[in-house]
A and B are shown apart, each in its own frame.
Chain A
Amino acid sequence: MMELRDLYRDVIVDHNRNPRNAGRLEQADHEAHGDNPLCGDQLDITLQMEGDVIHDIRHQGRGCAISTASASLMSEAVKGKSRQEVENLFEQVHAMLTQANGPVPTELGKLAALAGVREFPARVKCASLCWHTLNAALAGQGRTISTE
């Protein structure tokens, strides 16, 4: 049986209390809005690209500890990464969140703190909202994405 401490690990509690890269980039060249209608979570991602690489990122919204911490951890992980690298990372995060007993790749670093979420299926969308929103921002559709 999964313990709640495995879900709310110290890293998550810390990133929820003090989210990194919080706010909006005034000079953003990409942005997207994400909604999780089930929880009422909302998230705005703003990006500044340098060629193919994420030069800077901010996230702002309101959501639960899992979604806030996930956005914060993601923002640290993707800064300075190319689109292709972000895509690979997203695939690994997605696999970690949804595959019950799969190994957690060491390359994930701090993002591995979210591994406990997979024991709580109702909460997977909280952790993945930021990644879907980031994808929408990178795709430049500038539209609202929804987890539903």
Chain B
Amino acid sequence: MLDVAKIRAEFPILARKIRNRPLVYLDSAASAQRPRAVIEAISGYYEQHHSNVHRGVHTLSQEATELFEGAREKVRRFLNAATHREIVFVRGTTEAINLVAQSWGSSQLGPGDEVLITWLEHHANIVPWQQACARTGATLRVIPIDRRGVVDQQAFREMLGPRTRMLAISHVSNALGTVLPVREMVAAARELGVTTLVDGAQGVPHGPVDVQDLGCDFYCFSGHKLYGPTGIGVLYAREAVLEHMPPWQGGGDMILNVSFEGTTYNELPYRFEAGTPNIAGAVGLGAAIDWFCALDHHAVAAHEAMLLAHATERLQQVPGLTLVGTAPGKASVVSFTIDGIHPHDLGTILDGEGVAIRTGHHCAMPVMKFFDLPATARASFAVYNTTAEVDALIDALGVAREMLG
């Protein structure tokens, strides 16, 4: 069993009051909160160790470099990547996918080639591919989903073919909570020599990921959804693929030698990290990974599954409520609508009760269009949430129905 009271005590923000009510934070899929260990790692870095990395011979520069590279090693272990050369620090999932779509895309895509994505992707895994296709003449194809929000595997097998160059899919849908069979989809793609990218923004927060077991070429995630800082994220890229990719941004740190005749690029992964990186962010991410990995992952999974089951059962009893996304084996995310009450009114009224949920299109407009909805309300559950908070959500929905129903 997860000791949720002890976990909650580690998150200072959970003691906050919102409009005179205790905060009930059910928006961790958008951004999780940070435990004290992460906050202290960041302030400790700035108070004791900060300097620029990779450049100086002085003590602070060496300490900052060790902390920064130490964080990279923590990420490597967390993802079970083969070497640190496969771990590129970026701003977040969005930047990771843009890096791949631009660098890999510009060198590997051409007219007649196809990029396969699914219908439930976040805009971050749609727009960079649209842009790459526009630049290269490749075609973007979209694997359909069904009314539960499950990706149609038969359609996928039919669409996968000799023209497919890239399969780019979410690990877990942020809008619906669907967990995709990424291992199987990646395996099918690899059999045809197709390069694969997994958007793990919503994957890693629910448990450790083994990229070698998944078999993907690229895996991306954001620190802030993993109880870590904003502005830092990770692109895992298989070395055999990354070493053939042209540099993305140019500048300091990514070079070995610059003259006006030409430039030799640095080794991996530094070739893809131009400029002074988010050092404190990486240190904070390392602390978040340490914190997260110290939890019992079976207990985390059981706790989140219990919250999801409790929420699903209680929500289904709310008159006029429709669950959006009912895939089996979902992650701890519930999207829903209530007859006659727009999600934005719900969001405002729930906030008045101290309950923070997400309302809108969740950066997945094609999903909304598929269900013919302008928006949904979404509650997402993390390690620090409790059944009492789920009940607070249900009570707050009652207030909204009374006010507007």
Contact = CB atoms under 8 A, between A and B. Distances in A.
Interface core residue of A39, A42, A62, A66 (most chain B CB under 10 Å) = A39
A16 B24 CA distance: 28
B344 A39 contact: yes
A38 B342 CA distance: 13
A13 B403 CA distance: 8
Interface string B359-381: 01100000010000111000000
B345 interface: yes
A65 B374 contact: no
A34 to B, nearest CB: 13
B344 A8 contact: no
B20 interface: yes
Interface residues of A, number: 22
Interface in A1-24: 1, 3-5, 7-8, 13, 16
B105 to A, nearest CB: 26
B344 A64 contact: yes
Contacts of A42: 374
A1 B349 contact: no
Contacts of A122: 348
A4 B374 contact: no
B348 A38 contact: no
A63 interface: yes
Contacts of A63: 342, 374
Contact of B349 (A4, A38, A62): A4
A13 B404 contact: yes
Contacts, number: 48
Nearest to B403: A8
Contact of A39 (B19, B341, B375, B404): B375
B361 to A, nearest CB: 6
A123 B344 CA distance: 8
A8 B349 CA distance: 9
A53 to B, nearest CB: 33
Interface in A22-78: 38-42, 62-66
Contacts of A13: 403-404
A101 B283 CA distance: 44
Contacts of A111: none
A64 B342 contact: yes
Contact of B342 (A4, A7, A65): A65
A136 B342 CA distance: 25
B352 interface: yes
B363 to A, nearest CB: 11
A3 B343 CA distance: 19
Contacts of B341: 65
Interface string B16-31: 0001100000000000
Contacts of A126: 344
A125 to B, nearest CB: 10
Given A8-B349, A126-B344, A1 B19 contact: yes
Contacts of A66: 344-345
A65 B375 contact: no
Interface string A101-136: 000000000000000000010110010000000000
B33 to A, nearest CB: 20
A120 B348 contact: yes
A11 to B, nearest CB: 13
Interface of B: 19-20, 341-345, 348-349, 352, 360-361, 368, 373-375, 403-404
12 contacts: A4-B348, A8-B403, A13-B404, A16-B404, A39-B342, A39-B375, A40-B360, A42-B374, A63-B342, A64-B343, A122-B348, A126-B344
